[in-house]
Amino acid sequence: MPKFEVTILGCGSALPTTKHNQTSQVVNFREKLFMIDCGEGTQLQFRKAKLKFTRLGRIFISHLHGDHCFGLLGLISTFGMLGRTADLYIHCPKGLAALLEPSLNFFCNQSPFKVIFEEFNPKVSTVLYEDRSLVVTSIPLKHRMPSSGFRFQEKAGPNHINKEQIDFYEVPSFELNRLKAGFDYVTPQGQTISNSVLTFPAEPVRSYAYCSDTAYYEPVIEHVKGVDLLFHEATFASTEALRAAQTLHSTAEQAATIAKQAEVKRLLIGHFSARYPNEERLRQEAMQVFPNVEVADEMLTFTV
């Protein structure tokens, strides 16, 4: 199957620690790289992960808190020093362009490429990017400022030709594209041969959703319904539920509840508070609600 992977560059929360970098991850879809959030130090993590700078074309910023976007200026500056010429697209809530452009004009005014800001309204689900095989949609979240998650949805591919049956029914080659698109074949004698006889189904489509930063927010459920892998923030343990409510973050138990109600296949928790020396406690709490839980950590790659 074509590659669909998520590499964690940072999974800590706002307070820096020596254990976790601030939030960033990279989706590798068919060798195209899409970055989600860009906390401080992301460009160094990108190098450690041995990802290729030239394949990163788009960055999706969830919201305008520093631990999700302070790394942008350094990353863009490095692109310039590397001689990048391809445009870089940044999908972000309204306001980031006005904040960042003065710094870019000062520090990166000789860059040989354009930085193109495509701002969106985080309060409304919107298609942000689409090509022949992938669509990326925003997911409204609930946080102290407008915040958005993202769903990466693979598009259905064409059916596969069953060569043995094609030869048996003597189907001409000019009919093959119609068969891949799902049409039946009608023989010169008027007999209809079902598409299911002449083709094999395409591979199941895959999907990944990212939800951070957010309080427990039930409207998210419909947006992430049935995804193969859900990243949901689990900043706090249940004993800090009051603190989670005050800061509009989630507990591990709440992240698992969203995963269970949305019937996702796997849950990946992250955005951990600096107060926890390890995340096993959070994993155990999540597993009490939803059994298929994985824990984010820097340089881990998860296959969708």
DSSP string, 259-287: HHHHT-SEEEEE-B-TT-S-SHHHHHHHH
Helix (H) / strand (E) containing 235: none
Q: Kindly report the pTM of this predicted structure.
A: 0.92
Phi and psi at residue 18, to the nearest 5°? -80, -10
Residue with tokens 């698109």: 181
C-alpha–C-alpha distance, residues 148 and 38, integer Å: 14
**Across-strand partners of 149?**
139
Contact criterion met (CB below 8 Å) for 260 and 230: no
What is the side-by-side order of every strand in the sheet holding 293-295? 127-130, 134-140, 148-154, 207-211, 229-233, 266-270, 293-295
pLDDT at residue 91 in the model: 98
Which residue type occupies 206? R
pLDDT at residue 202 in the model: 86
C-alpha–C-alpha distance, residues 170 and 187, integer Å: 9
pLDDT at residue 1 in the model: 84
pLDDT at residue 244 in the model: 97
All structural domains of the chain = 4-157+203-303 (3.60.15.10), 165-200 (no CATH)
Contact criterion met (CB below 8 Å) for 8 and 300: yes
Tens digits of residue pLDDT in 160-209? 999 999 999 999 999 999 999 899 999 999 899 999 999 998 889 999 99
pLDDT at residue 16 in the model: 83
In the set 37, 67, 213, 228, the catalytic residue is 67
Contacts made by residues 39-42, CB under 8 angstroms, sequence distance 24+: 39/10, 39/66, 39/67, 39/68, 39/69, 39/70, 39/71, 40/16, 40/66, 40/67, 40/70, 40/71, 41/10, 41/71, 42/9, 42/10, 42/71, 42/74, 42/75
H helices, E strands: number in the chain = 10, 18
Active site residue 228: no
pLDDT at residue 272 in the model: 98
Regions of the chain short of the pLDDT cut 50: none
Output the CA angle 52-1-3, nearest 5 degrees. 15
